[in-house]
Amino acid sequence: MADTYQYKKGSISLGPYTLENMQSLARQGVIGRHHHISKAGGPFQPGDQFPELFQLSSEALKKSGAPKTKLWHYTISGERQEKPLPEEQLINLIGKGVVQPIDMVWNESVGDKWASVSSVPQFAAAIPAVDVRLAVPIEEGRRNDYQEDRRQIREPSGDNYYREQGTAEAKSFNALGLAGFICSVVAIVLLTIPCFVFIVAAESLFWSFHIVVPFTIVALIGLVLSSIGLTKVPRGMATTGTIIGVVALTMGIVAFLGWVFLPHRIAMERRTLIDSRIADIKINQQHLNESLTLYQNVIREDGESEDAYNRKVAPLRRNVGRDAGKLITAYSDQLTVTAKTSEFPMAFDGLSRLQQSLKKVEDAGQAVEEASLLEIFDSANVNVQQLRNLMDTLNLYQRGELTLSQAEAKMTGL
């Protein structure tokens, strides 16, 4: 039984093939001496160990119908091309400058090792005059270096070549790309604060807008440096810095607009709150007047017992206490929203009207059932501490013991 062969393409084993099949593949340039080949199931060895696959007699070549045109394996810029070319086509590429003198070529005619284009006579003759590097005079002191460089050229199919190329690229450093990336990251982190303040309209954090202008400039610098860094390799940091720089610059513009328009926005929102509190005071004052009228007009029928009268009066008293408590809260809320504004003095003067309303409630309690103001509030479970703070501050101001600004600070905690 005739021996069979297998060969490896990358990590894949192909075959088995007969001797004639393998010789045909060798003539077509599909396999070469650089491939690893196994005979009769044995270990894979370099193709050099199987000369019978690559050395055919003239009679055998004629019998096999092999083409007379030689096929050449070749590289372009150090990268091996998968498909071999006829000699005429390869000479054409050399004449156009696509294949350079230092690129490598191989077929059986040059032996076991790859050869440079400039070392093969028929190819050296096709090199354009401007590209014939061997014709350029070499200084005596550099001749050895040049020859050493030539000897260090690896076969393109070897793993070392690609590993060395990847290492050289990895060792390159893009300073502009890195600087742009750092500037963009710093800008986007710090510009997040004023953008957040603008979104939630947080007045207490309005100071953060002072960083808008300088860090918008930092974002612009990061974008410019990253864009310039895109012209160099590696481009990873530069690309990321460009994207982040665009986002940071956009955030800076938004934050700057927030710096301009946020005070107006806050003023409008505060105006809405103040108007809402004024409306609450009016509504609660009306409800108190209505419940107070019902409370004052209650009548004790002839022969009506004390308990029956108290049961009739009790819900009316609770309604008065509840409505009075809501009115107190409405006045307190108005003082809070007008703090540090020009409308606080007017809101503070409104406490005098609250004081008058509470006096009417106290008088009605005494007239109807001899109940004190505190008893009316207790029946409705009203927290009187808020009322005491308001009235104590008002009394101190009316006696001249507090200024308006001191009263504002005492009541609002500002």
As a whole number of angstroms, the distance between CA 155 and CA 147 comes to: 16
Q: Flag whether pLDDT at 82 surpasses 90.
A: no
What pLDDT score was predicted for residue 95?
Answer: 84
CB 3 within 8 A of CB 39: yes
What pLDDT score was predicted for residue 152?
Answer: 46
What pLDDT score was predicted for residue 138?
Answer: 41
As a whole number of angstroms, the distance between CA 23 and CA 86 comes to: 18
Strands (E), 185-317: none
pLDDT in tens, 343-374: 888 888 888 899 899 999 999 999 888 889 88
Per DSSP, the three-state class of 9 is strand
Which token pair is 335? 């003082």
Q: How confident is the model at residue 164 (pLDDT cuts 50, 70, 90)?
A: very low
Q: Which residue type occupies 82?
A: E
Q: Which of 13-27, 30-44, 124-138, 272-286 has the highest mean pLDDT?
A: 272-286
pLDDT in tens, 234-286: 888 999 999 999 999 998 888 787 777 767 766 777 788 889 989 999 999 99
Q: Is the peptide bond before 101 cis (omega within 30 degrees of 0)?
A: no
Q: Could you tell me how far CA 319 lies from the centroid of its own chain? A: 58
As a whole number of angstroms, the distance between CA 372 and CA 392 comes to: 19
**What whole-number percentage of the chain has pLDDT above 70?**
81
Q: How confident is the model at residue 161 (pLDDT cuts 50, 70, 90)?
A: very low
Which token pair is 273? 């709150």
What pLDDT score was predicted for residue 209?
Answer: 66
Q: Flag whether pLDDT at 58 surpasses 70.
A: no
List C-alpha distances in Å: 300 to 145, 306, 311.
125, 9, 11
As a whole number of angstroms, the distance between CA 32 and CA 23 comes to: 10
Of 315, 281, 285, which Cα lies nearest the Cα of 298?
315
Q: Flag whether pLDDT at 184 surpasses 70.
A: yes
Q: How confident is the model at residue 208 (pLDDT cuts 50, 70, 90)?
A: low
Q: Flag whether pLDDT at 158 surpasses 70.
A: no
As a whole number of angstroms, the distance between CA 406 and CA 118 comes to: 96
As a whole number of angstroms, the distance between CA 159 and CA 167 comes to: 12
What pLDDT score was predicted for residue 207?
Answer: 61
Q: How confident is the model at residue 155 (pLDDT cuts 50, 70, 90)?
A: very low
